[in-house]
Structure 1
Amino acid sequence: MRSFRFIHAADLHLDSPFRGLAGLPEAWRERVKEASFTALLRLTDLAVSQRADFVVFSGDIYDAKDRSLRAQLRFRQALETLAGHRIPAFVIHGNHDPLHDGYSAKLTWPDEVKVFGAGGVESEIVRAADGEALARVSGISFGKSSVTDNLTPGFRGWGDGLYHIGMLHTNVDGDAKHDNYAPCRLGDLLARGVDYWALGHIHTRRILHEKPWVVYPGNVQGRHIRETGPRGCYLVDVSASGETELTFHALDDVRWQEAEAAIDGLETEQQLMEALEEAVWAAAEAGEGRAVILRVTLTGRGPMHTVLKRGGVLAELGSALKESLAKHTVWVESVEDRTGAPIDRGELEGRPGFLGDLLRLAEAAGADPARLAAFAAEALSPLSAQPRLAALLAELGEEEFGQWLREAEELAIDMLAGTETRWSG
């Protein structure tokens, strides 16, 4: 076997609308609108500059089954660029862009492109420019949006001595934050004679196993505040002996970030504003020159908590931040107040009476995920009766319930002084 290099990407979601961007400045709109396409362009540039032997795209190339014509033309153009440099591309379709559902333009793909069908697992041998076999790539597309079968039994070892790459859009071991499409267990993947599983569907970058490799590269461009941090693809180097090395490359053009500013020890509004600005500049630096959409959360306990509860203060802080950042590539999506009064929570929890009982109950619920889930289900049951709200609630989990519980604790502690507020820009 001879050494080779390939790129593993997934979940491009081309032409995806960003969520949670009410009030976005006009100067930002075009950049945000183009972000998924910019990420695709960076991917093709990376493949060319790094002399990749081929590229695999593991599903959800498009954001919806009725994919936009613009997205299809841009993807075809990217594949043409790769083909012009003699870089083959292998493509599967996922739940967002099923092969046989929705609108698909009649386009001619370059000869160097292989789109795997949905009728069963197909397999292709990748060859170098001189005709020598480099690797075997096997894959299967979703034919419809909702695929609930385990697709791993269709993959098999070939016994040909070639490094075997399996392409699959799947939810391994039932990640609760993603739809359970083409579900499988990690053990299913390890037993199929595949050296590298090039997976898609989960938007967070993960390496589930090594030798054989089971890899999610994450999506190439974050689309909302739950998709923070660098987004991109893996450049995979395989040696002549089959040793595999992965290098992550960020491709995103607009980066979602979260930052915290603690009010502990702060006594003046000037100090508060300086703490906010410091958090913003740190987030901008972490963005590595990209446009940054930022959510700032105020935390901790101190006298500034009382100031923050005054009507309009968060909005004024947010406006001041926007003015100071007008010429920079950071947009503050929102400022949240999760601060508390300067008290000893432990001392309150130890007191007899209603508040002490309430805080002890909250502490016990927060420490037990099952108990917290049951408590949240009971509390939210009136909302769950509404279909639209039920769909939104279904996306929530332990993290959100835990945060709501903490906010409720602070509200209980703070009842004599008012309620929490939030500014959103």
Structure 2
Amino acid sequence: MPFTFLHAADLHLDSPFRGLARAPKAVRERLKESTFASFEKLVSLSRLEKVDFVVLAGDLYDAADRSLRAQLRMQKQLTLLAEDGIPVFIVHGNHDPENGWQARLDYPEQVTVFGSRRVEFRAVDNRRGERIAHVYGISYREAAVRENLAAGFEKKEGAPFHLALLHANVDGDAAHDNYAPCRLSELAGKGFDYWALGHVHGRRVLGESPHVVYPGNSQGRSIREIGPKGGYVVSVSETGDVSLSFRDTADVLWTELAVSIEGIRTEQELKGRLEAAMTAAAAEAGGRPVVLRLRLEGAGVQHDSLQSPQVVAEWLESLREWYGSPDESDAWVWLDSLDVRTRPELGGTDPAEGDGFLAELLRQARSAEADGSEGRRLLEEALEPALRQPKLREWTLSLGDERRSELIGQAARLAAALLREKE
């Protein structure tokens, strides 16, 4: 029988949104509520489209000792799904492992939370009582699960479709903790029709035969998680063909826009471009609040002044004042930061072609920008003391060649501006 289901993950209910102490109260309160609002939109979507079941692939809560508020809100939404006859299948991940604190609450019988001892499965019938699928899953017992949980998944006969629910790092994504590590080839060889994954916050379809899918998190929580967020409504045809429809349920959008300084001669012109970018971000959000980062790039005469942290801070505060207070509107734009990646406007002789320290510095930087291995060596040498801190080391390992080149170039241009200033 054809059927549909919702696949979501990484709700991170009651996320604290740290690092926003200077943001207005209205921004902080809306962000704190945003994870709940996004989940409620997913539930409303499931009810409206009358999906046959829902799967939630881990990290429903932001902390192992989940807040009572988050658990009560979860109970309410699961009850609404049960009232519409929609079963829900849940696994817990590294943020909300089984051994974390849990309130003693009653959940509808249509809700299945898979345990952590072994992979279990449940049969799923549609509203007419026809068998449509088997759903399999296993939760994390504790936060740091290093063993390959995928190895325990085995199909059980008796259903036309087999869905595996797993919170895991497939093929060792360096940007995420390597919990429940497994390989895409291993998942593809298990014979399941759909792997409903969680853990990676970026939306990705790793394979289509079978489908191996990360829906991403349902609400962005920092400027590293930009763009639409939500879940997939998955349709399965009579012949077993799978089609995905992403649904954006983010309550607040995190956005990054580029603003070029090329051709700008005055601060007034720069102000106009920055204000236009903020207006564009608001228009693209479709009436939703936006947390925005503006990335200044390109070469121009404004480059040197933008190397001053004080000047950048003054631009930031002035733009926040210009766009108005979030208290005055529901569709606000909060300018989180200005990221300066500009270059000086070169007139006449290229400074890298001369003699002296500055020329040598620029030549070495350009060489490192162009050569991935040389760039890696340079960054590791420069950051060696900082790399003793595990999180910083994890961050540097996650950098691609393009981002590494950007950082080296940015550092060289900052050094050159300071050297020119001091002669």
Q: So what's the TM-score if we normalise by structure 2?
A: 0.93
Aligned to 1:194: 192
Aligned to 1:377: 380
Aligned to 2:79: 80
Select the residue among 277, 280, 283 that pairs with 2:278. 280
What SS class does the counterpart of residue 182 from structure 1 fall into?
A: coil
Work out whether residues 57 and 197 of structure 2, in 8 Å CA contact, stay in contact via their aligned partners in 1: yes
Select the residue among 340, 348, 363 that pairs with 2:351. 348
After alignment, is 260-269 or 340-349 more displaced?
340-349
Q: 1:81 to 1:307 in 2, by over 3 A?
A: same
- How far did residue 339 of structure 1 move? 2.0
Deviation by residue 1:23-62 (Cα, 9 ceiling, x = unmatched): 1111222211100000110010000111111100000111
Q: Distance in 2 between matches of 1:20 and 1:301?
A: 31
Given residue 226 of structure 2, which amino acid in structure 1 is its aligned partner?
Answer: T
Q: So what's the TM-score if we normalise by structure 1?
A: 0.92
- How far did residue 355 of structure 1 move? 3.2
- How far did residue 128 of structure 1 move? 1.2
Aligned to 2:126: 128
Work out whether residues 372 and 398 of structure 1, in 8 Å CA contact, stay in contact via their aligned partners in 2: no
Deviation by residue 1:93-141 (Cα, 9 ceiling, x = unmatched): 0111111x22111111101001111111111111112211111111111
Q: Distance in 1 between matches of 2:374 and 2:342?
A: 25
What SS class does the counterpart of residue 178 from structure 2 fall into?
A: coil
Q: 1:406 to 1:159 in 2, by over 3 A?
A: same
Q: 1:215 to 1:390 in 2, by over 3 A?
A: closer
Aligned to 1:31: 30
Q: Distance in 2 between matches of 1:109 and 1:310?
A: 56
- How far did residue 278 of structure 1 move? 1.2
Given residue 277 of structure 1, which amino acid in structure 2 is its aligned partner?
Answer: E
Aligned to 2:366: 363
Aligned to 1:6: 5
Q: Distance in 1 between matches of 2:123 and 2:344?
A: 65
Work out whether residues 20 and 224 of structure 1, in 8 Å CA contact, stay in contact via their aligned partners in 2: no
Q: Distance in 1 between matches of 2:411 and 2:310?
A: 21
Q: Distance in 2 between matches of 1:73 and 1:369?
A: 50
After alignment, is 284-293 or 68-77 more displaced?
284-293
Given residue 56 of structure 1, which amino acid in structure 2 is its aligned partner?
Answer: V
Work out whether residues 342 and 410 of structure 2, in 8 Å CA contact, stay in contact via their aligned partners in 1: no
Aligned to 2:399: 398
Work out whether residues 386 and 392 of structure 2, in 8 Å CA contact, stay in contact via their aligned partners in 1: no
What SS class does the counterpart of residue 136 from structure 2 fall into?
A: strand
- How far did residue 390 of structure 1 move? 4.1
Q: Distance in 2 between matches of 1:203 and 1:298?
A: 26
Q: Which runs of 5+ in 1 are unaligned?
A: 420-425
Work out whether residues 52 and 127 of structure 2, in 8 Å CA contact, stay in contact via their aligned partners in 1: no
Is 1:407–2:405 an aligned residue pair?
no
Work out whether residues 262 and 300 of structure 1, in 8 Å CA contact, stay in contact via their aligned partners in 2: yes
Q: 1:390 to 1:179 in 2, by over 3 A?
A: closer
Q: Distance in 2 between matches of 1:309 and 1:150?
A: 47
Given residue 317 of structure 1, which amino acid in structure 2 is its aligned partner?
Answer: W
Aligned to 2:146: 148
Work out whether residues 169 and 179 of structure 2, in 8 Å CA contact, stay in contact via their aligned partners in 1: yes
- How far did residue 332 of structure 1 move? 0.3
Work out whether residues 94 and 142 of structure 1, in 8 Å CA contact, stay in contact via their aligned partners in 2: yes
- How far did residue 311 of structure 1 move? 6.8
Work out whether residues 121 and 154 of structure 1, in 8 Å CA contact, stay in contact via their aligned partners in 2: yes
Q: Distance in 1 between matches of 2:390 and 2:210?
A: 39
Q: Distance in 1 between matches of 2:214 and 2:352?
A: 43
Q: 1:311 to 1:199 in 2, by over 3 A?
A: closer
Report 1:195-234 matches (<5 A). Answer: 195-234=193-232
Q: 1:379 to 1:346 in 2, by over 3 A?
A: farther
- How far did residue 162 of structure 1 move? 1.3
Deviation by residue 1:343-394 (Cα, 9 ceiling, x = unmatched): 1699333445543332232223233434333322222222344xxx443343
Aligned to 2:293: 295
Work out whether residues 64 and 97 of structure 1, in 8 Å CA contact, stay in contact via their aligned partners in 2: yes
Given residue 111 of structure 1, which amino acid in structure 2 is its aligned partner?
Answer: E
Given residue 105 of structure 1, which amino acid in structure 2 is its aligned partner?
Answer: A
What SS class does the counterpart of residue 282 from structure 2 fall into?
A: helix
What SS class does the counterpart of residue 342 from structure 2 fall into?
A: coil
Q: Distance in 1 between matches of 2:348 and 2:230?
A: 42
